[in-house]
Structure 1
Amino acid sequence: MPYDMSRFATNRWIKTHPNRVYTHGSLEPVLSILDVRGFEVHDLFLIGLNDSCGTLVLPSESRAQNAAAALDPAYKTKVYLFGNWDGENVWATDYTRRALDGTTLSGFITDLTLTDGRQVIKDGRWVH
């Protein structure tokens, strides 16, 4: 039996959706992308502050890999073991929105210049 994602729904900031889907933040656009790309939207916990970056917590590695595949190429993804709760492994897929040219956008900082005058983020993109 997969890990019960409702165990993550521990405060008033977490929204409960049908099919044991829980979200923290305004992340419904990401759920729509997953659905349109053929990912079965059930048994998951979606964490993030906006739809540009966040984490999907899932009960199995295969579901985490499938979520990453559904988000690619619009998002850069990383799948990893999130932790072990009650003797069960819980997996995660981190995602960060990509621009049309494939660069990764910053979800929070749009422009950043260091004290030495070097600009490291411009228009939400890392400057190399």
Structure 2
Amino acid sequence: FWMDLTRFAVGAGQFINRAVQYTGESLGQAERTQLDPALEELLARADSTKTWTDQIISQTEVLLQPSLARLEERLYEHLEWSIPSRPHAHELLGDKMTQAGLEIGSNTPYGKLISFSVL
């Protein structure tokens, strides 16, 4: 699953780079070229996809790295103390994935991937 997400993130990054290049070339001209509304929508979706992908990757790194909070939780469990309530890293990751799938849309490949992974 993570390999698919990584490949998708790389593809989205390449698309965004091409879009930025096209925009830079367009702005260099005296008159601004009117973009097709479908292209503008696609650019907005690509930007949103990149933002969410960056957030998901960041939260995944938090989940995979050793954490003092998890060590603290194990200590509380060992001592049979009540653990302070706060969201766990995997819960935060799931929330980000759900939010991304909802914002981008469940009818898109990214939304389907996110929606499927949360199930």
- Asked whether the two chains share a fold, i.e. TM above 0.5, the reply is no
Greater strand share, structure number = 1
TM-score scaled by length of structure 2: 0.23
Greater helix share, structure number = 2
Higher relative contact order (CA 8 A, sep 6+): 2
Larger Rg: 2
